[in-house]
């Protein structure tokens, strides 16, 4: 059953707020949005929550994701003095995080393909 966009958005926002609550309650060294995203992922993988409950809104968000990066990029341009000081640190972090992201995505795709072939 497809749910309305507002209800789908409320599901996603609920996980965001629950993630922030977990971080505040347990004093976790993570962002609340990351914890909320992990909880949403767990609920989707266990089947507790169905993908069609959030597919319309999440597809819209992914489609327009680049717009959300504009403030971050603008912030980098306005902090050029910090960029000069931490240029090597930032470069190393970007390279390591890109490699981790690439490896994580490749692992997830391989796992998904193997699981799909079994069914």
- The token duo for 37 is 């995203």
- Are 54 and 81 part of one and the same domain? no
Within the chain, where are the H helices?
5-26, 32-46, 55-63, 65-68, 70-78, 80-85, 87-118
- Are 46 and 3 part of one and the same domain? yes
- Are 99 and 80 part of one and the same domain? yes
- Percent of the residues in the chain that have a pLDDT greater than 90, as a whole number: 53
The total domain count for the chain is 2
pLDDT digits (tens, 9 = 90+) for 69-91: 888 778 777 877 877 888 899 88
- The answer to whether the beta carbons of residues 37 and 13 sit under 8 Å apart is no
Position with higher pLDDT, 35 vs 84: 35
* Domain carrying residue 107: 76-119
- The answer to whether the beta carbons of residues 19 and 37 sit under 8 Å apart is yes
């Amino acid at each position: 059953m497809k749910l309305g966009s507002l209800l789908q958005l409320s599901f996603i926002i609920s996980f965001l707020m629950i993630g922030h609550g977990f971080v505040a309650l347990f004093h976790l060294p993570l962002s609340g949005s990351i914890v909320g995203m992990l909880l949403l992922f767990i609920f989707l993988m266990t089947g507790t929550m169905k993908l069609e409950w959030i597919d319309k809104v999440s597809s819209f968000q992914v489609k327009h994701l680049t717009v959300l990066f504009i403030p971050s990029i603008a912030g980098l341009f306005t902090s050029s003095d910090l960029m000069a000081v931490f240029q090597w640190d930032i470069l190393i972090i970007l390279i390591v995080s890109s490699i981790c992201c690439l490896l994580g995505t490749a692992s997830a795709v391989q796992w998904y393909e193997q699981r799909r072939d079994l069914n």
